[in-house]
A and B are shown apart, each in its own frame.
Chain A
């Protein structure tokens, strides 16, 4: 079976600096793939390459068996891949509902249908009570969830979550874990960047580790936990910090 997403020897340079070097991996249907690595390891750059904000300098990206590297983000989104941003980007002066309606229009024929999709997604992400709040006024935890809701409203097959847990308190984290399990339950494949080890170990089926733009490990949470390269990469970071 072809993997849902496949990267072949992807590199990305900025000026003379390599942010990603020769990264290859695949995401299988219906799994949760965790992506971890120290700060500046190239995780967000990888998302930007996958979702089309940057074209890879070298290598290719395949989604559902067809080549998507070089396509613009909106085309990739229309093919069934959505993402959230680490630095949340809500449409500030729109209400929560309107935010989600705007992205639901991708699959909806008219406004009623878009609103129906939006309501469904808001219920799934627990934001329905805040639907009329202007999104600028939302607390961070809910803004992070709004990011997820907006991505879901485009009815993706694969969703890329960029640090959806950062800055959340333990209660909010548990809520978000629940939401992510629900998303998986709707047979949406997930790739997630996360710093919180406890969270990532508990929800991921597999984990991939980046360091200095290179893939240094890939495997089950248990394998990653005991991988000497990974331990070194993280210990190196704590020593610096």
Chain B
């Protein structure tokens, strides 16, 4: 049963458009799946390999701008951004890794945060290539209907999920977790920690970049403040993983569903909209204090807490 669960969930999701969801619900689904992908990518680097990144917007943004620039400057379809961004983002990740991976723990986190901000400012100022704050508009939309976007992002999500599961069960996965648990021990056991951290970073970055490239095609408009956003991307992806469950397979998916629904809920209540960051921040604080390993990671703790309440 447990083995079949993923297949059943995917099949159920794939059927959804057939029953005629309205555009809004389909949009929510697409965004949720996109965030699960970014969350899975972050989790590979942060949760499994222990390198917490505060700058994943950098990779999302580079992916998004790869699509945007291919369309805007070279007149190609923005969809070419997806394959091309793999190469571009991987190169970026190599450079960023060279700089930031010499830092450990929180200092790595802040290094990546700085990189994210540098890229945003660069995109704002290099108007000749990025159009700066005007942003890039994709004028010809591939489909008016959202169904195909849904299938594309769902396929990508399934592939990423399988890829990560394969990686974690292999030598790479063992090395990533060993690095997270104790970098000195890992190094002395013959693990080239710099090399494997770079691999984790590149994989994570490329997956995030793919989501970014998809975002450009799907939303049809990007600007530096949106795709390189510190709070709305780099921090939200951390929340997605923290809420769902660090270093779990399903955590990012659960986390993304909760975060997207929560964001929509807050937006729909008129007076609350302005306070959405306060509520997100409070949620983050509460999760860190009470469920530091997320909903999936702390299932035993949750069960205990709920069971305890029942017995009262």
A touching B, CB within 8 angstroms = yes
Interfacial residues, chain A to chain B (CB-CB below 8 A)? 51, 53, 72-75, 77-78, 82-83, 85, 89-94, 98, 101-103, 105-106, 108, 110-111, 114, 150-151, 153-154
Q: Are B181 and A92 in contact (CB under 8 A)?
A: yes
Could you give 27 example pairs across A and B, Cβ below 8 Å? Answer: A53-B188, A72-B187, A73-B188, A74-B192, A74-B193, A78-B190, A82-B188, A85-B184, A85-B188, A89-B182, A89-B185, A90-B182, A90-B185, A91-B177, A91-B178, A91-B186, A93-B177, A94-B181, A98-B177, A102-B174, A102-B177, A102-B189, A102-B191, A103-B190, A111-B170, A150-B185, A150-B189
Q: Considering the chains assembled together, what is the distance between the CA atoms of A82 and B189 in angstroms?
A: 7
Q: Considering the chains assembled together, what is the distance between the CA atoms of A154 and B175 in angstroms?
A: 14
- Tell me if B310 is interfacial: C-beta within 8 Å of chain A: no
Interfacial residues, chain B to chain A (CB-CB below 8 A)? 169-171, 174-175, 177-178, 181-182, 184-193
Q: Are A91 and B175 in contact (CB under 8 A)?
A: no
Q: Are A85 and B181 in contact (CB under 8 A)?
A: no
Q: Are A102 and B178 in contact (CB under 8 A)?
A: yes
Q: Considering the chains assembled together, what is the distance between the CA atoms of A102 and B175 in angstroms?
A: 6
Given contacts A72-B187, A105-B174, 17 further A-B contacts (CB under 8 A): A53-B184, A53-B188, A73-B187, A74-B187, A75-B192, A77-B189, A82-B190, A83-B188, A90-B181, A91-B186, A98-B177, A102-B175, A102-B186, A103-B189, A111-B169, A111-B170, A154-B190
Residue of B171, B184, B190 touching A89 (CB-CB under 8 A): B184
Q: Who on chain A is nearest to B184 by CB?
A: A89
Residue of B185, B192, B193 touching A91 (CB-CB under 8 A): B185
Interface centre among B177, B181, B190 (most CB of A within 10 A): B190
Q: Are B190 and A106 in contact (CB under 8 A)?
A: yes
A101 proximity list for chain B (CB < 8 A)? 174
Q: Considering the chains assembled together, what is the distance between the CA atoms of A52 and B264 in angstroms?
A: 53
Residue of B169, B171, B184, B188 touching A105 (CB-CB under 8 A): B171
A73 proximity list for chain B (CB < 8 A)? 187-188
Q: Considering the chains assembled together, what is the distance between the CA atoms of A85 and B171 in angstroms?
A: 23
Q: Considering the chains assembled together, what is the distance between the CA atoms of A64 and B192 in angstroms?
A: 21
With both chains docked as a complex, state the minimum distance between the C-beta of A131 and any C-beta of chain B, in angstroms. 15
A85 proximity list for chain B (CB < 8 A)? 184-185, 188
B185 proximity list for chain A (CB < 8 A)? 85, 89-91, 150
Q: Considering the chains assembled together, what is the distance between the CA atoms of A111 and B14 in angstroms?
A: 34
Q: Are B189 and A51 in contact (CB under 8 A)?
A: no
With both chains docked as a complex, state the minimum distance between the C-beta of B176 and any C-beta of chain A, in angstroms. 10
Q: Are A74 and B190 in contact (CB under 8 A)?
A: yes
With both chains docked as a complex, state the minimum distance between the C-beta of A104 and any C-beta of chain B, in angstroms. 9
With both chains docked as a complex, state the minimum distance between the C-beta of A15 and any C-beta of chain B, in angstroms. 21
